[in-house]
Amino acid sequence: MKKAIIFDMGGVLVDLDLEDCKKAFIENLGFNEINVILDPCHQKGIIGELEEGLVTADEFRAYVLERSNPGAQPHLVDESLWRILVSIEPKKVDLLKKLSQKYDLYMLSNNNPICVRRAEVIFAEAGFPMYEGFKKCYISSEMKALKPSEKFYKAVVEDIALPAEEMLFIDDSQRNVDGAIAAGLPAVYYQPGTDLASVLAEALCDSSIL
């Protein structure tokens, strides 16, 4: 029987808009490199380094500003990056609240300190504060590891301290799902835009959450 559900954030819970984020970087800053380094699941270049905790938020801002229009301000870097995160649907909030009555909920996200600040606001405004609704949030930049690395998954399993077979991880990247399974963590793929409750009900063999 499953006791813990581990959610990816972007694409599973929070809707993403990569194109709006890219547009913001180009229009607000003139930072065209964003087209190369921004990816739905696996960031590249300086963003990948930010999400792995290899560079700080200030170092990221400095890198972007050096390659942006003269006079561009640091706050525009943050505001442009925030545009990747849109919102969490009310039905998903209701689902999380329902699940939390029966399962321990965790978050496991390839993410960075700039976007995490925005995510905290999104979850709070939706009525499911991140650090209250989830027993723990595992953020890649804090863990110094990125999905789909075995190191990341095993560290999370060890920290939760349940048998891996009692956990379920859900992600919108098949690569991340495959990496979790290879590391011994049961996992299921979620296609953004589909019914999250149905996917979980099937994976958990629990029709009560529908």
In three-state form (DSSP H/G/I as H, E/B as E, the rest C), the secondary structure along 56-92 is CHHHHHHHHHHCCCCCCCHHHHHHHHHCCEEEECHHH
Same domain, 131 and 67: no
The predicted model scores a pTM of 0.96
User: Phi, psi at residue 75, to the nearest 5°?
Assistant: -65, -25
Q: Measured in Å, how far apart are the chain's first and last C-alpha atoms?
A: 18
Same domain, 98 and 123: yes
Same domain, 116 and 143: yes
Within 8 A by CB and 6+ apart from 125, the residues are none
What CA–CA distance (Å, rounded) separates 140 from 144? Answer: 6
Same domain, 107 and 23: no
Same domain, 99 and 147: yes
Partner residues linked to 104 by β-bridges: 4
What does each of the 210 residues of the chain score in pLDDT, given as a tens digit?
A: 999 999 999 999 999 999 999 999 999 999 999 999 998 777 889 999 999 999 999 999 999 999 999 999 999 999 999 999 999 999 999 999 999 999 999 999 999 999 999 999 999 999 999 999 999 999 999 999 999 999 999 999 999 999 999 999 999 999 999 999 999 999 999 999 999 999 999 999 999 999
Residue 39: what pLDDT?
81
Residue 91: what pLDDT?
98
The structure tokens listed for 104 are 């321990």
